[in-house]
Amino acid sequence: MAAAQITSLSFSAQPIMFHSSLPVAGNGGPRGRPNAFFCPWAPVICHGRREATPHALSDDCDFQDLLSVQHQEALTSVQALFLQHPKSSRGMMTIVDHLKHLCIDQYFQDEIGNVVDSCMDLIRSDNLLDVTLSMRLMREAGYHVSADGVLQKFANGNDDFSLAHSQDIRGLLSLHDVSQLNMGEASLYKAKEYSRKHLRSTLNYLEPNLARYVKQSLDHPYHVSLMQFKARHHLSYLQSLPTRNAAIEKLAVAEFQINKLQHQREMQEVNRWWMDLGLAKEIPAARDQVVKWYMWPMTILEGYSFSKYRIAITKIISMVYIVDDIFDLVATQEELSLFNEAIIMWNLEAADSLPSYMISCYKALYNITNDIADMSMKEHGLNSINHLKKAWATLFDGFMIEAKWLSGNHVPAREDYLRNGIITSGAPLLFMHLLFMLGHDITEENNDHMSRIISCPAKIMRLWDDMGSAKDEAQEGLDCSYKELYLKESPHGDAEEHMLEMIAGEWEGLNRECFSRTRSSLSPTFIRASLNFARMVSVMYGYDHEHRLPVLEDYTRMLLF
């Protein structure tokens, strides 16, 4: 897993106290609308819709002290909104849309489900906003909706979108949102192009707050961008409107504060673990960015009850980065072979044959993985250790292949490189651990779907990383890249354009996997983790011309400091 670096932020974990409320909770239950999230204080707020997993409250009872009356009142007030409008109405859909944009929809899954079930009426209307918003909500809920069929009514004689809608800002914003949920449909390519073009052209005459919101939506499109990052901008926009919804705003603010507090606590724990481990001192050539590595699980895995999973996943990610650097920067070919053999053997005695700088890393990796296997056995009765061992062996194999290519000056074919690059992204290994932590097993039925839902974000990551708008400052390895290989084969080609097209194709594949109710039994939490991973990639690798990661910097400030 190659890394990016934030250049200007300090990662000291200073606690910030808020007049905070209760944390958010989630579970990894079977796929289906009502099981996506739950509140740890469900009997108080959520009217008993969901039950906590056994660990949800046991370790974190102190969070209950932070229960805010404000937060509860806001939840109750928002819940009451669902009774104020007919289910099938634009007003109701707009409320649902705001809850989703603000990342507080998890509390109202049943109510939202009822609204979405009623959207069928509005999808038949002739209004661009009604049609596109209901279409999006239905697709997100797993309904099969034919975009080409639904959007046909807005076409002119040439099958392009009619200019009649080019001034409808809310309609265009909604069209732009739904165009991101493309599963390879021609109408959604056109929708994206049309909405972008006309939204851009409005920027100069819109009132400033709306113009800012439109620009933000164009720069960070719905669905493919980090939702938590966008939520802050969405709230600012709502706060600028003449008619405001106090309950929704209050809930959103309380939610941000709770999440921030929890992330700060987790970050401190991760920091302590990393310092105690001492790997940064033992292998000074390797990267030392544990807090930034924590940003991955912080983003991927949402929900109060997943705190210890986020911490465990951070440890796994740390090991991937360190092993990557050992392969690229530190070890000789002979040492790498010993390392690889020790991983296959998978026992602590195997560490005796390793050079001293590798021993702590090997032991840490071994212990962390076994701890996760124990966790999945204890919590879900799943025997995962053989799968996890195999995932590590596969990753090491991938690194060995890269090392051999490099040492033998061998130039692999693009396809071979990419196939291996998906493995060495570390993403499949991460998802394998997450899968068992969330209580899933690998079965014949879910194997193909699961492979795709993992390989799409992994490929997106590899391609973004290899576009290499800037090399990671902290990692001086001599990795090959897809971009170089493409340019070797097609010296006059546009590598970046080609790779962006490939990334768009992977997003379509991921959408196909994620928006089908019937495709699998994977939990919404796992599916959302895969989407969040893909969303995070451009933030982690989106360098500007000054070799900085501006979105990551903003995101970090918003969510952690």
User: Residues for the chain: how many in total?
Assistant: 561
Residue list 478-497, contact with Mg ion (CB under 5 A): 479
**Cα-to-chain-centroid distance, residue 508:** 16
- Asked if 175 and 128 count as a contact pair (C-beta separation under 8 A), the reply is yes
Residue list 409-438, contact with Mg ion (CB under 5 A): none
Nearest one of 492, 479, 470 to 6, comparing CA atoms: 470
| Binding region for Mg ion (CB under 5 A) out of 30-38, 317-325, 358-366, 512-520 | 317-325
Count residues contacting Mg ion (CB under 5 A)?
3
CB of 324 to Mg ion, least distance (A): 4
Residue 185 or 324 having the CB closest to Mg ion: 324
Token reading at 411: 């130039």
Residue 28 to residue 376: CA distance in whole angstroms = 12
Residue 255 or 479 having the CB closest to Mg ion: 479
CB of 246 to Mg ion, least distance (A): 51
| Binding region for Mg ion (CB under 5 A) out of 85-93, 119-127, 219-227, 323-331 | 323-331
| Binding region for Mg ion (CB under 5 A) out of 271-279, 289-297, 477-485, 541-549 | 477-485
- Asked if 258 and 22 count as a contact pair (C-beta separation under 8 A), the reply is yes
Residue 480 to residue 463: CA distance in whole angstroms = 12
| Candidate residues 111, 130, 328, 465; the one interacting with Mg ion per rule CB under 5 A | 328
| Binding region for Mg ion (CB under 5 A) out of 6-14, 15-23, 58-66, 316-324 | 316-324
Residue 65 to residue 207: CA distance in whole angstroms = 43
How far apart, in Å, are the Cα atoms of 541 and each of 463, 466, 535, 548? 10, 9, 11, 10
For helices 385-407 and 427-437, what crossing angle results, to 10°?
180
Residue 233 or 287 having the CB closest to Mg ion: 287
Cα-trace Rg, the chain: 24
CB of 362 to Mg ion, least distance (A): 18
- Asked if 326 and 339 count as a contact pair (C-beta separation under 8 A), the reply is yes
CB of 323 to Mg ion, least distance (A): 9
Q: x/- contact string, 266-305, with Mg ion (CB under 5 A)? A: ----------------------------------------
| Binding region for Mg ion (CB under 5 A) out of 246-254, 318-326, 490-498, 532-540 | 318-326
**Cβ density class 211-250: b for 16+ within 10 Å, e for less:** bbbbebbeebbbbbbbbbbbbbbbbebbeeeeeebebbbb
Residue 183 or 329 having the CB closest to Mg ion: 329
Instruction: Kindly state whether residue 513 participates in binding Mg ion, applying the rule CB under 5 A.
Output: no
CB of 475 to Mg ion, least distance (A): 8
Residue list 185-204, contact with Mg ion (CB under 5 A): none
- Asked if 279 and 293 count as a contact pair (C-beta separation under 8 A), the reply is no
Beta bridge partners of 37: 26
Amino acid at 122: L
Residue 288 or 328 having the CB closest to Mg ion: 328
Residue 270 to residue 274: CA distance in whole angstroms = 6
| Candidate residues 60, 105, 111, 324; the one interacting with Mg ion per rule CB under 5 A | 324
Interface residues with Mg ion (CB under 5 A)?
324, 328, 479
